[in-house]
């Protein structure tokens, strides 16, 4: 700030000496002396002071506690990250722990078309890895309107790693899950499937979505300069979905599926369904539906194949309903198993309508009415009862109510209130026409005969303890009906085709014409419901074949399917035989006996 | 004099403590990296386990087993070719049905 001064005099002295006319130094030229007002430097000083105060104030504002988050946030953004931790969907297993559905991480491959720079060679490699057509990949990458295209979702992790190795700019991947169904079409209808977001859409996947899904978590982490996580803080812990053990036995499921499939091919039927229930616990061992689909290849899903016919389709049960009408009469004390019923001449006229038997039978006992499946006999017995009594018996057996299975889409069937029945309807309902049921309902109803007259709740989940049943008929009635149903598969009955070597079986055939727009048409539903072994029933099996061609009697079509399923299932469950072996003895057995 | 010595000693202690803090922080972070790596490995093993389970289920599918067995010329078991052994009557909890001896 000091003015440079001459060596001879200081600036103050120079100025004073000017007036005396002495020679002055260059620097002391009075013209150069400007009289600055002293306030200017003070103002300058004050402004500088204000600037420093402002800086200090700002620093205090940011760091001293008034608004500290901003800088902290900015700082953290440079080393901290919030990671989304996805939850793995629970596994679905069968009763023996065999995996039926399981999720593994996969990658979604996507691209930003504008950024993609790939040679033809690279595109061809990419297409090959994705299992797509090279032209299709090119077309998608050439799509300039969009800034984001999925090339393919749910790519296996090792394939995704090889795609990453191609290092094509603009092609990226993100994490997701892929659900695998090792059993494929065999058990597709029970398990259902998920969508690409891993959410349940059908079957058990949908019914138990909450339990299976789990909840994703998030985690705040600090990364070092190499990207390694050095500190973390859980904002929300993820919960993996819980595993679900079904009551299904995958071996029995396969048995039911393949037996049904063979029958449907043989009779060129439109569809079919089969269900196997463990009579002791009410657990579903198998539930097969055809046509079916492959849940692993969801591109080809068709509505008709997805439908779970066992639960969602109703049909007129036909003769499989008769035992319940007889049960009502036995319970009411109106008849006994050996009461004689006149069914000649095989026709019965009620009002202006006539019902008839397929073959005229003459005088039959109640037992024979069931085993020979006489419509006239059943109708005569049923007409002797108040309509309400019949209705009560049917309702107790679960007709007209949706089975409580915890499964989406289970239907109730149709059973009109007893007050609205006309006599002809009472007669036809007694042999299974004018009512509709699902295969599951009819199978469940037969558990009462397979047990002691009580019905357990059905379940799709593995049970640890057998549940308590609800009694729907007396022990004596159940035993009498068991005997009658065993006669029905005897040589004199309607379904000798249901018999199997080594085990005593019991069951009832059903053949019903289908209703279309309120008219009966020449299309049939052949069914068979039964249980085995009769001495101590273990399983209840129900089979339904929809629109078989050529034959249509339940005894010819559904009964052999029942026999195949039952024989193989009892063997698989290692149930001791209680009947005669009709087939040739094994060489080993012959050897043992010879000794 | 004693006061100055004390201040110096405390300053030294503070300095050492600061160094120790830095070291401890560094060690905790490198240990955390190891833990994280182990977690990562555990996750990967879980995934592999799931994958193998699926593979096992696929190969043990009854349909697959049956096809392979038929290829080897094997036949399904039936009642006629099965030997049934009876438990001694005393130890048999459940009564066996007639015909079971066959």
Look at residue A445 and tell me whether its pLDDT is greater than 70: yes
At A14, the pLDDT band (50, 70, 90 cuts) reads: very low
**Contact yes or no for B47 and A501 at CB 8 A:** no
- Residue A102, chain B, CB below 8 Å: the answer is yes
Lowest mean pLDDT among A481-495, A581-595, B86-100: A581-595
**Contact yes or no for B36 and A105 at CB 8 A:** no
Q: Would you state the pLDDT for residue A240?
A: 87
Lowest mean pLDDT among A17-31, A250-264, A489-503: A17-31
Look at residue B94 and tell me whether its pLDDT is greater than 60: no
Higher pLDDT, B68 or A2: B68
Distance CA A51, CA A74 (A): 25
Q: Would you state the pLDDT for residue A22?
A: 58
Closest Cα in chain B, distance from residue A584 (Å):
6
**Contact yes or no for B61 and A186 at CB 8 A:** yes
Q: Would you state the pLDDT for residue A21?
A: 53
pLDDT 10s digits, A519-557: 787 888 899 999 989 989 999 999 999 888 877 777 788
Average pLDDT of the segment spanning A391-409: 85
pLDDT, mean over chain A? 83
Nearest to B57 among A98, A501, A588 (CB): A98
Distance CA A282, CA A456 (A): 5
The DSSP H or E segment spanning B28 is helix B2-59
**Contact yes or no for A578 and B98 at CB 8 A:** yes
Of all residues in chain A, the one with the smallest CA distance to B59 is: A182
Six-digit token string for A254: 């396969």
Nearest to A254 among B54, B62, B94 (CB): B62
Chain centroid to Cα B41, Å, comes to 12
pLDDT 10s digits, A289-301: 888 888 888 766 7
Whether this model's ipTM surpasses 0.85 comes out as no
Distance CA A123, CA A157 (A): 19
Q: How would you class A19 by CB atoms within 10 Å of its CB: exposed for 0-12, middle for 13-18, buried for 19 or more?
A: exposed
Contacts of A577 in chain B (CB under 8 A): 79, 84, 97, 99-100, 102
Q: Would you state the pLDDT for residue B21?
A: 96
**Contact yes or no for B29 and A105 at CB 8 A:** no
Of all residues in chain A, the one with the smallest CA distance to B64 is: A183
Look at residue A390 and tell me whether its pLDDT is greater than 80: yes
Residue matched to tokens 């001495």: A535
Q: Which of A103, A173, A319, A325 is catalytic?
A: A319
pLDDT 10s digits, A377-389: 999 898 888 889 8
**Contact yes or no for B60 and A98 at CB 8 A:** yes
Q: HSE, CB side, 13 Å, CA atoms: give it for residue B15.
A: 6
Of all residues in chain A, the one with the smallest CA distance to B47 is: A104
Q: What percent of chain A has pLDDT over 90?
A: 16
pLDDT 10s digits, A123-146: 888 888 888 888 888 888 777 677
Say how many Å lie between the first and final Cα of chain A, rounded. 132
**Contact yes or no for A577 and B79 at CB 8 A:** yes
A&B contacts, CB < 8 Å: 109
pLDDT 10s digits, A55-102: 999 888 888 777 778 888 888 777 888 888 888 889 999 898 889 998
DSSP string, A473-518: S-HHHHHHHHHHHHHHTSTTSS-GGG-BTTB--EEEEEEEEEEETT
- If we measure between CA atoms, which residue out of A335, A392, A379, A323 comes closest to residue A353? A379
Look at residue B15 and tell me whether its pLDDT is greater than 90: yes
Closest Cα in chain A, distance from residue B78 (Å):
8
Q: Would you state the pLDDT for residue A517?
A: 73
Contacts of A582 in chain B (CB under 8 A): 80
Of all residues in chain A, the one with the smallest CA distance to B86 is: A576
Look at residue A594 and tell me whether its pLDDT is greater than 70: no
Q: Considering the entire predicted model, what is its pTM?
A: 0.78
Of all residues in chain A, the one with the smallest CA distance to B45 is: A104
Indicate which of A157, A161, A228 best probes the interface with B, i.e. most B CBs within 10 Å of its own CB: A228
Residues 67-96 of A with CB under 8 A from B: 91
- Residue A270, chain B, CB below 8 Å: the answer is no
User: What secondary structure, in 3-state letters, does A259-272 show?
Assistant: HHHHHHHHCCCCEE
- Helix axes of A38-63 and A69-76: crossing angle, nearest 10 degrees: 60
pLDDT 10s digits, B35-93: 999 999 998 998 899 889 888 988 888 888 888 999 999 887 766 677 777 776 544 44
**Contact yes or no for B82 and A571 at CB 8 A:** yes
**Contact yes or no for A577 and B29 at CB 8 A:** no
Six-digit token string for A492: 């004199």
Please say if A527 is a catalytic residue: no
pLDDT 10s digits, A403-415: 888 777 788 888 8
Average pLDDT of the segment spanning A490-518: 83
Average pLDDT of the segment spanning A306-332: 87
Distance CA A549, CA A524 (A): 9
Contact A366, A341 (CB under 8 A): yes
Q: Would you state the pLDDT for residue B24?
A: 95
Indicate which of A285, A577, A585 best probes the interface with B, i.e. most B CBs within 10 Å of its own CB: A577
Average pLDDT of the segment spanning A373-400: 89
Nearest to A228 among B33, B53, B63 (CB): B33
Nearest to B54 among A99, A230, A585 (CB): A99
Higher pLDDT, A184 or A531: A531
Higher pLDDT, A579 or A435: A435
Q: Would you state the pLDDT for residue B88?
A: 65
Contact A309, A410 (CB under 8 A): no
Of all residues in chain B, the one with the smallest CA distance to A227 is: B33
**Contact yes or no for B102 and A99 at CB 8 A:** no
Look at residue B96 and tell me whether its pLDDT is greater than 50: no
- Residue A501, chain B, CB below 8 Å: the answer is yes
pLDDT 10s digits, A151-175: 888 888 888 888 888 888 888 888 8
Q: Would you state the pLDDT for residue A583?
A: 46
**Contact yes or no for B97 and A91 at CB 8 A:** no
At A24, the pLDDT band (50, 70, 90 cuts) reads: low
Distance CA A527, CA A542 (A): 7
**Contact yes or no for A99 and B100 at CB 8 A:** no
Range from A198-207, A486-495, A532-541 that averages highest in pLDDT: A532-541
Average pLDDT of the segment spanning A39-44: 90
Distance CA A163, CA A157 (A): 10
Strand order in the sheet with A217-223: A80-85, A217-223, A229-236
- If we measure between CA atoms, which residue out of A399, A443, A481 comes closest to residue A277? A443
- Residue A572, chain B, CB below 8 Å: the answer is no
């Amino acid at each position: 700030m000091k003015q440079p001064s001459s060596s001879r005099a200081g600036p103050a002295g120079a100025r004073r000496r000017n007036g005396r006319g002495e020679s002055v130094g260059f620097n002391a030229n009075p013209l150069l002396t400007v009289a600055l007002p002293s306030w200017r430097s003070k103002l300058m000083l004050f402004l500088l002071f204000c600037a420093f105060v402002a800086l200090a104030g700002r620093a205090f504002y940011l760091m001293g506690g008034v608004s500290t988050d901003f800088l902290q946030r900015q700082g953290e953004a440079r080393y901290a990250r919030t990671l989304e931790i996805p939850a793995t969907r629970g596994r679905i297993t069968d009763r023996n722990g065999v995996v039926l559905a399981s999720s593994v991480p996969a990658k979604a491959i996507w691209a930003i078309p504008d950024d993609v720079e790939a040679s033809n060679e690279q595109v061809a490699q990419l297409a090959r890895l994705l299992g797509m057509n090279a032209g299709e990949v090119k077309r998608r990458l050439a799509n300039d309107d969009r800034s984001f295209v999925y090339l393919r979702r749910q790519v296996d992790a090792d394939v995704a790693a090889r795609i990453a190795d191609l290092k094509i700019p603009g092609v990226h991947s993100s994490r997701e899950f892929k659900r695998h169904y090792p059993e494929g079409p065999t058990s597709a209808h029970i398990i259902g499937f998920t969508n690409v977001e891993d959410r349940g859409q059908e079957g058990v996947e949908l019914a138990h979505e909450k339990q299976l899904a789990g909840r994703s978590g998030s985690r705040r982490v600090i990364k070092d300069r190499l990207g390694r996580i050095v500190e973390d803080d859980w904002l929300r812990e993820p919960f993996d979905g819980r595993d679900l053990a079904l009551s299904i036995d995958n071996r029995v499921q396969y048995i039911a599926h393949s037996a049904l499939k063979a029958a449907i091919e043989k009779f060129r039927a439109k569809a079919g369904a089969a269900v196997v229930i463990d009579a002791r616990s009410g657990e579903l061992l198998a539930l097969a539906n055809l046509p079916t689909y492959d849940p692993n290849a969801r591109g080809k899903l068709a509505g008709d194949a997805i439908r779970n016919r066992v639960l969602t389709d109703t049909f007129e049960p036909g003769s499989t309903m008769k035992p319940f009408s007889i049960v009502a009469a036995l319970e009411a004390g109106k008849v006994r198993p050996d009461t004689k019923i006149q069914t000649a001449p095989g026709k019965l006229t009620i009002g202006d309508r006539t019902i008839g038997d397929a073959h005229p039978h003459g005088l039959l006992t109640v037992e024979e009415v069931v085993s020979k499946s006489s419509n006239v006999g059943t109708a005569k017995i049923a007409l002797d009862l108040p309509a309400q009594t019949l209705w009560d018996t049917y309702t107790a057996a679960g007709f007209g109510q949706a089975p409580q299975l915890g499964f989406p889409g289970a239907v109730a069937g149709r059973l009109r209130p007893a007050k609205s029945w006309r006599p002809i309807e009472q007669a036809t309902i007694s042999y299974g026409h004018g009512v509709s049921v699902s295969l599951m309902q009819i199978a469940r109803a037969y558990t009462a005969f397979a047990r002691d007259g009580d019905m357990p709740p059905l379940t799709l989940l593995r049970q640890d303890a057998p549940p308590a049943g609800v009694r729907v008929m007396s022990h004596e009635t159940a035993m009498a009906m068991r005997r009658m149903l065993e006669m029905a598969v005897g040589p004199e009955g309607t379904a000798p085709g249901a018999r199997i070597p080594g085990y005593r079986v019991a069951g009832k055939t059903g053949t019903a014409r289908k209703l279309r727009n309120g008219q009966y048409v020449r299309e049939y539903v052949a069914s068979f419901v039964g249980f085995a072994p009769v001495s101590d029933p273990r399983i209840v099996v129900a089979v339904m074949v929809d629109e078989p061609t050529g034959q249509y009697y339940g005894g010819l079509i559904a009964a052999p399917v029942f026999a195949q399923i039952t024989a193989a299932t009892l063997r698989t469950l290692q149930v001791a035989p209680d009947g005669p072996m009709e087939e040739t003895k094994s060489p080993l057995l012959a050897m043992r006996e010879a000794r | 004099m004693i006061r100055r010595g004390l201040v110096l000693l405390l300053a030294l202690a503070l300095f050492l403590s600061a160094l120790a803090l830095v070291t401890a922080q560094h060690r905790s972070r490198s240990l955390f990296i190891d833990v994280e790596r182990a977690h990562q490995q555990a996750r990967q093993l879980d995934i592999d386990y799931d994958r193998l389970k699926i593979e096992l289920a696929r190969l043990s599918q009854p349909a697959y087993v049956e096809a392979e067995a038929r290829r080897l010329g094997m036949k399904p078991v039936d009642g006629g070719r099965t030997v049934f052994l009876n438990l001694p009557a005393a130890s048999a909890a459940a009564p066996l049905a007639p015909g079971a001896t066959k």
